[in-house]
Structure 1
Amino acid sequence: MKAKILLIFLILLSFTVIGCVDEDKETPNETDMLNETTEEVVNETVTEDAGMNESVEEVAVDEEEDQKLEIVESEGPKTYTIYMEKFLTQPNNITINTGDTVIWFNRNDPTRLFTLVSNEDLWENTTIGYRLSFKYTFNETGTYTYKVLGWEERMKGTIIVK
C-alpha cells in the first residue's frame, strides 16, 4: 500500500515539474538585452552619420567619459578604513573631523590576530582576527595615537581629529 502511494506521489511530482518548465520560451538575460541595446545605438549612430567614422569614435569617447567615477562630497560624518596588512597599518596617519568613524580591518596574510591599543585609553585593548574589524567614532578634537601589540614599530599611527 505504501509503495502505491509513493508511486502516485512521484507521478504527480513529475507532472508538476513538467508543468513548471516551459522549453519553448527563452527569457533573455541582462547581458543579452544590454548587448542588443548597445548594438541598436551603434547601428543608429552609424546610419545617421553614414560614412563618418569620426562620429562613431566620438560616441566611444563619450561612453568612456560616462564611466568615470564621480566623487560627491557629502555633509556629515564619514568613515575611514585603516588596513592591517603586510604587518603595516595603512594609512597610518589620517586627519578626520569630529564625529567621523575609523575602522581597523585585519587582512594580513598570513592570518594573524592583532591587538589594537589606544595610547590615550579611548577603548579597551581589542584583538582583531583575520578578516574582522574594529571601529571607533571620534567625538572630541585632539591628536590620538594607536599601536598594535608586538608590532609597535611597524604598526602604529596617529589620528588627528579637527
Structure 2
Amino acid sequence: MKSELLVIILLIAFLALSGCTDKEIVQDTDSNASAEDIKYIEIYIDDYAFHPQSLTISRGDTVRWTNNDSVAYIVKSSAFQSPTLTKGMTFTYTFNERRTYNYYLATHPYTKSGMIVVE
C-alpha cells in the first residue's frame, strides 16, 4: 500500500513539474522550411480523446497536437513520442514515410487511440 501511494505521489509531482513551459515543442522537421512557413494539420486533445481521431495526409505534412485539457498527456506511437503536454502546449511531427501510424495517450492508455494514414 505504501509503495502504491509513493508511486502515485511521484507521478503527480512529475506531471506537475513537467509542464513548466509554454513553448511549442517541435520534433522531426527534416525540411528546409522555417517554422513560419510550415502549414500544420491540427489535432486537438479534448476530454481524453483526439479530434479528429483519424486523418489521411500526404508525405511531408506536419501534424500539430494541441492539449486543450487540464490533464497532462504524452502522445506516443512506434515512430514518435511527445514530451509531457500540459494545457495549451503543442507537439509537432513531420510524416516523411508512407504508412499508417497508430498513436495513443501514453499517460492514459485506456482512452481511444488515433490513426494517421500517410499517402
What TM-score do you get using the length of structure 2 for normalisation? 0.63
Aligned-pair CA distance for 1:78: 4.5
Query: Which of these residues, 54, 71, 87, is aligned with residue 93 of structure 1?
Result: 54
Unaligned runs of 5+ in 2: 1-37
Match of 1:115 among 63, 74, 77: 74
- Displacement of 1:154: 2.5
Runs of 4+ in 1 over 6 A off after TM superposition: none
Question: Deviations along 1:41-83, whole A, 9 cap, x unmatched?
Answer: xxxxxxxxxxxxxxxxxxxxxxxxxxxxxxxxxxxx7421110
Does the 8 Å contact 1:89/1:154 carry over to 2? Answer: no
Q: Calculate percent identity across the aligned residue pairs.
A: 32
**Distance (Å, rounded) in 1 between the aligned partners of 2:98 and 2:114:** 16
1:142 maps to 2:108: no
**Is the aligned partner of 1:158 residue 2:97?**
no
User: In 2, Cα distance between the equivalents of 1:144 and 1:116?
Assistant: 12
State the shift of 1:92 in Å: 1.0
- 3-state SS, counterpart of residue 104 of structure 1: strand
Q: Shift of the alpha carbon at 1:141?
A: 0.3
User: Which one has the largest radius of gyration?
Assistant: 1
Give 1 or 2: higher helix fraction: 1
TM-score, with structure 1 as normaliser: 0.47
| Equivalent AA in structure 2 for residue 139 of structure 1 | N
Q: Residues 73-118 of structure 1: CA distance to partner in whole angstroms, max 9, x if unpaired?
A: xxxx74211100111111011000000011110001xx11101111
Q: How does 1:6-155 map onto structure 2 within 5 Å? A: 78-108=39-69, 111-118=70-77, 120=78, 122-155=79-112
What secondary structure, in the 3-state scheme, does the structure 2 residue paired with 1:151 have? Answer: coil
Q: Give unmatched runs, 5+ long, in structure 1.
A: 1-76
User: Aligned with 1:82: secondary structure?
Assistant: strand
For the 8 Å contact 1:103–1:135, the answer to whether it is kept is: yes
CA RMSD of aligned residues (A): 1.6
**Normalized per residue, which structure has more strand?**
2
